[in-house]
Amino acid sequence: MKEIIIIGVTGSIGTQTLEVVRKYPDKFKVVGMSCNNRIEDFNKYIKEFKPLYVHVANTEAKTRCETSGAVMLNSLEELVSITEGQLVVTGIVGIAGLSPTVCAINHNKDIALANKETLVAGGELVIKLAKEKNVNIFPVDSEHSAIWQCMEYGRASDVKGIILTASGGAFRGKTREQLQHVTLGDALCHPTWTMGQKVTIDSASLMNKGLEVIEAMHLFNISIENIDVVIHKESIIHSLVTYNDNSVMAELSNPDMVLPIQLALTYPSKLPSTVPPLDLVSISNLSFEKPDLDAFRCLAIARECGRIGGLYPAVMNGANEVAVKQFINGRIGFLDIASLIQSTLDAFNGGDIYSIDDVLSADAKAREIITSLIK
């Protein structure tokens, strides 16, 4: 039986991970779980799955936690350091996922990676550390899971390029002029996926796809120039791999995050899932188009930061987290997100990554710069 730790168990990734555990209770045991402030759901999961250790980030919510005999730990780093647990599912959003992921790797635990910011901000160090510790990083994003599966059928040296698909988010097909006055409510109307506010807004701005480009660069050790993005509104093809002979392999399935989560947990086995089988006849049409980089500047900014490397991706990510939060709070407009990120990057002096502290310092500096710009 595989013992797992779930960081962010009450979020989208966490709850769908629990679906897999429910389906295969003889294969998985949840030994640790964390949440931020959804304490009512957290208490239900503690009662159902009986973890050995728990962590609650929010101080007020922590006072209402019904541990049912589980040990309450003070940090995510403590949670991922427990003796039990072979696999850590990183289901939280943002730079907050970096330190616990590094800590888990240092404790020789495999990672089911749903926190893309970990590799965006600290990819060089994280990938190097994982190799040193002989730790597996299993991608949970549907796009990266698709690439991972496609690359199983050929040598990495035979790969010519990667094509990441994007649904286009809430504003697919809109021009820059049409985006001038869109609202938070508009941005949160994703046509395909159900996600938290931050990821849904990143999807609307295409920053989410920019983060995934950088993540793919690190995960699969491929030049960013060889990673393309296409808009695929049906969200049936989750990504593609082009080989040197120009053959292309794609992974197709109904859009459901249970599938990549389950594969990350059960690899190398592919077990039956709750995802409905794909009916190509009923789908009938699969469409593709180029992203509009004038209207959706975040994708172009992310690609450039990935190309430059060093601390720029960490700065971009930190600035984006602040900008998205301010958009949610109604302090800036949707198009201001990209403008403020670019202004933050322009004000940054650059630098190389030598440690996780360098990454966290760059993140803090980015937040300082963009906050002053907004004020």
CA distance 312 to 96: 18
- CATH for 320: 1.10.1740.10
The sheet with strand 227-231 has its strands ordered as 227-231, 159-166, 237-243, 248-252
Of the residues 108, 139, 170, the one at which a domain ends: 139
pLDDT of residue 153: 62
Task: Check whether 40 has a pLDDT greater than 90.
Answer: yes
Q: Do the domain assignments include residue 250?
A: yes
Do 186 and 208 share a domain, yes or no? yes
Q: Do the domain assignments include residue 263?
A: no
Domains of the chain: total: 3
Do 229 and 315 share a domain, yes or no? no
Task: Check whether 10 has a pLDDT greater than 90.
Answer: yes
309-344 pLDDT, tens digit each: 999 999 999 999 999 999 999 999 999 999 999 999
Do 201 and 317 share a domain, yes or no? no
Do 61 and 109 share a domain, yes or no? yes
Do 245 and 221 share a domain, yes or no? yes
- CATH for 54: 3.40.50.720
| DSSP state letters, 59-108 | HHHHTT---TTPEEPS-HHHHHTSSS-SEEEE---SGGGHHHHHHHHHTT
Q: Do the domain assignments include residue 268?
A: no
| Between 169 and 344, the higher pLDDT residue | 344
DSSP bridge partners of 240: 163, 250
Q: Do the domain assignments include residue 69?
A: yes
Task: Check whether 152 has a pLDDT greater than 80.
Answer: no
Do 292 and 368 share a domain, yes or no? no
Do 7 and 128 share a domain, yes or no? yes
pTM for this entry: 0.94
Do 228 and 361 share a domain, yes or no? no
Do 122 and 180 share a domain, yes or no? no
Q: Do the domain assignments include residue 265?
A: no
Name the 3-class secondary structure at 89: strand
Mean pLDDT of the region 148-155: 80
Mean pLDDT of the region 341-366: 93
DSSP bridge partners of 227: 162
Of the residues 116, 139, 162, the one at which a domain ends: 139
Q: Do the domain assignments include residue 259?
A: no
Q: Do the domain assignments include residue 266?
A: no
User: What is the span of the domain harbouring residue 107?
Assistant: 2-139
Q: Do the domain assignments include residue 271?
A: no
Do 154 and 301 share a domain, yes or no? yes
Of the residues 114, 139, 164, the one at which a domain ends: 139
Do 292 and 321 share a domain, yes or no? no
217-266 pLDDT, tens digit each: 999 999 999 999 999 999 999 999 999 999 999 999 999 999 999 999 99
Do 287 and 328 share a domain, yes or no? no
- Write the burial class of residue 132 (CB in 10 Å: 0-12 exposed, 13-18 middle, 19+ buried): exposed
